[in-house]
Chain A
Amino acid sequence: MSLKKHILDLRKRREKVQLGGGEKAIEKQMAMGKMTARSRILALLDNESFTEYDLFVEHEARDFGMDKKELHGDGVIIGTGTIYGAPVCIFAQDFTVAGGSLGLMHARKITKIMDHALKMRVPLIGINDSGGARIQEGVNSLAGYGEIFYRNTIASGVIPQISVILGPCAGGAVYSPALTDFVFVVDQISKMFITGPSVIKTVLGEEISMEELGGARVHAEITGNAHFFAGSELECFEQIKKLITYIPWNNTQKAKVFPPREPKFKGKIEDIIPSDPKQPYDVRDVIKAIADDSDFFEIMEFFAANIVIGFGRMNGQTTGFVANQPLVLAGVLDCDSSDKAARFIRYCDAFNIPIITLEDMPGYLPGVDQEHAGVIRHGAKVLYAYSEATVPKITVILRKAYGGGYIAMNSRHLGADFMFAWPTAEIAVMGPEGAANIIFKKEIEEADDPDKMRELKVQEYIERFANPYVAAAKGYVDSVIEPEETRKMLLHAIEVSTHKDDQRPFKKHGIPPF
């Protein structure tokens, strides 16, 4: 063969394999409203930046007639590329090839690109679209999953790991996304569950659709497994690209700094907050009034909405925001919101992102269901995450900071670097009504008109304790500031924290209340 012929032969081989499961299977994939694995990668990465590896990998299975089956690329595409110039490693399961099922070589390709990502210290993106384990390959496919989970864990906190669920992701396969930092789902396309509808029907006789059991909405709203919800695959890719701009390539670097921008918000911050502390407002409006360009990239918007988490920029620098949301469940901490906040705090800490906490919360959610669901151990995660974090930690108390919640929301006592409070802040052991009921129990009971006496005592308590000055007198709060000064104070706090060095005693790892 002449050189030219060799080249033509390579091109022909490439073309054939790049078609994945063939035109018919591709048509089927499109009919389900899904893009193909290759078009997904191309849509997500910068133009012309994708470089593929292991195109010609073949499976080695021999049982159940598998020796006669040709599975192009063994059902997964791996490679490297860039997103806005940031290098990433990526894999995408190809549902058109044997349903994207995971066999030994399929897993080997994934672990190869994972190893590469970890060695090169660049983010890893995994696009999941797979029917699950390739049953014909038996325990080899289980081995494959295990080796992926192991790498997810080793890479956790070293490189950002992003999972994109664009099809089924069932059984053991769900644990790779669960171990990664951010999970993206798309309405009507993503399906995640451990045991599917058919098993549930066999065992329980209960009928439930895949969508109701483990669709995108379920995971974005009920289970908290997903961090980002999109209406379409293209919208999902835009979300991923945006996320990549906020996070560093690895844990030894800082996120890219953008040109500073003033907030677009032009009103007065204090106008966002109702004067009656019992009336709600949307705390995201406060974040937008503070952050560069009034741009707030919210994470887990629909899950445990009583706490708000996400990224913004302060003077161009990525900052993590954690804020109680008085608009939902009065902004209480509960099991779900604790899990949500704690994991985000740990993410920011692992990737050198300063944390700003905006506090307005009445305490923990009361109820048997909460206590029995383990609000003690879940709530403890927040304490652990804040205490453990060594990135700059700044708190602004907007209104209520009662009891255990005051301690949990990055208080001075857990190591906050800067504690600011608005004059509207109420830092107290509990809400005035509750406190007055206990402290003045006798006076109220013995009064001729208990209700009037209670009202009087509540008012007395509010005047004496429902303010920031008792805490400020002890130095627990560094500054009582006007709402309009908030951005200025935060920018300054972040600036002087740039070289923060907070060393902790050596340990193999802590034992957080998982």
Chain B
Amino acid sequence: MEEKKLELVDFVVTARKYKTLLTIKYANRKPYKVPNPNEIMSYIPGTIIKLKKNKGAKVKEGEVILILEAMKMMNKVLMPFDGKIKNIFVEEGQKVPKGHLMIEIE
């Protein structure tokens, strides 16, 4: 079907190197990133309806930082621990995909 890249590559499984082809899906997979607790990412695609806190604000654990509308639901995004809003990367009305960095806290 597709023009397969007929290029054999080294592929290691339990300490042994095999010569083999890769699938497109495997070649395109995303590398794993260790989650950073100071980064608040969107957990669902949606629209930023309201930013409740400003940059630099001191926020207590459990307080609402912003409202993310997704799937006809106003989802509250909460502060995970007592801290400060270091940076805001989104604006009200902005559409965000899943896994988008919205807020940085400290």
Contacts and interface: CB of A to CB of B under 8 A. Distances in A.
Interface in A376-408: 402-403
A304 interface: yes
Contacts of B95: 203-205
B41 interface: no
A495 B15 CA distance: 41
Interface in A222-245: 222, 229
A362 B15 CA distance: 10
B93 to A, nearest CB: 11
Interface stretch (B26-34, B49-57, B59-67, B80-88): B26-34
Interface stretch (A96-104, A136-144, A314-322, A425-433): A425-433
Chain A contact-residue range equals 35 or more
A302 B2 CA distance: 9
B36 to A, nearest CB: 16
B1 A330 contact: no
Contacts of A203: 45-47, 70, 95
A433 B14 contact: yes
Interface string A266-307: 000000000000111000000000000000000001101110
Q: Looking at B12, B17, B21, B30, which has the most chain A CB atoms within 10 Å of its CB? A: B21
Given A205-B95, A280-B8, A328 B23 contact: yes
Contact of A327 (B16, B20, B70): B20
A369 B19 contact: no
A326 B23 contact: no
Contacts of B26: 329
Contacts of B97: 204, 206
Given A206-B97, A369-B32, A363 B22 contact: no
A217 B13 contact: no
Given A205-B95, A369-B29, A369-B30, A304 B14 contact: no
A510 interface: no
Contacts of A110: none
Nearest to B94: A205
A433 B14 CA distance: 7
Given A203-B95, A204-B95, A329 B15 contact: no
Given A205-B95, A279-B19, A304-B23, A366 B13 contact: yes
Given A203-B70, A206-B97, A329-B11, A280 B18 contact: yes
Given A222-B25, A229-B1, A363 B18 contact: no
A329 B2 contact: no
Q: Looking at A330, A363, A367, which has the most chain B CB atoms within 10 Å of its CB? A: A330
Nearest to B33: A368
A202 to B, nearest CB: 9
Contact of B24 (A206, A221, A363, A366): A221
A328 B70 contact: no
A79 to B, nearest CB: 32
B30 to A, nearest CB: 7
A329 B29 CA distance: 13
Chain B contact-residue range equals 20 to 34
A446 to B, nearest CB: 19
B39 to A, nearest CB: 18
A166 interface: no
A372 B35 CA distance: 14
A437 interface: yes
Contact of A280 (B1, B20, B23, B32): B20
Q: Looking at A206, A304, A328, which has the most chain B CB atoms within 10 Å of its CB? A: A328
A275 to B, nearest CB: 13
B16 A302 contact: no
A434 interface: yes
A434 B16 contact: yes
Given A221-B24, A306-B23, A369-B30, A430 B14 contact: yes
A438 to B, nearest CB: 9
Contact of A336 (B14, B20, B21, B25): B25
A220 B44 CA distance: 27
Contacts of B96: 204
A45 interface: no
Q: Looking at B25, B30, B47, B96, which has the most chain A CB atoms within 10 Å of its CB? A: B25
A194 to B, nearest CB: 13
Contacts of A416: none
A289 B45 CA distance: 51
Nearest to B24: A221
Interface in A326-352: 326-332, 336
Interface of B: 1-2, 8, 11-26, 29-30, 32, 45-47, 70, 95-97
25 contacts: A203-B46, A203-B70, A206-B97, A221-B2, A221-B24, A221-B25, A280-B8, A305-B23, A306-B23, A327-B21, A329-B11, A329-B20, A330-B11, A330-B18, A336-B25, A366-B12, A366-B13, A367-B29, A367-B32, A368-B32, A402-B14, A431-B13, A431-B14, A434-B14, A437-B15
Given A332-B13, A367-B32, 7 more contacts: A217-B2, A306-B23, A363-B14, A369-B30, A369-B32, A430-B14, A431-B14
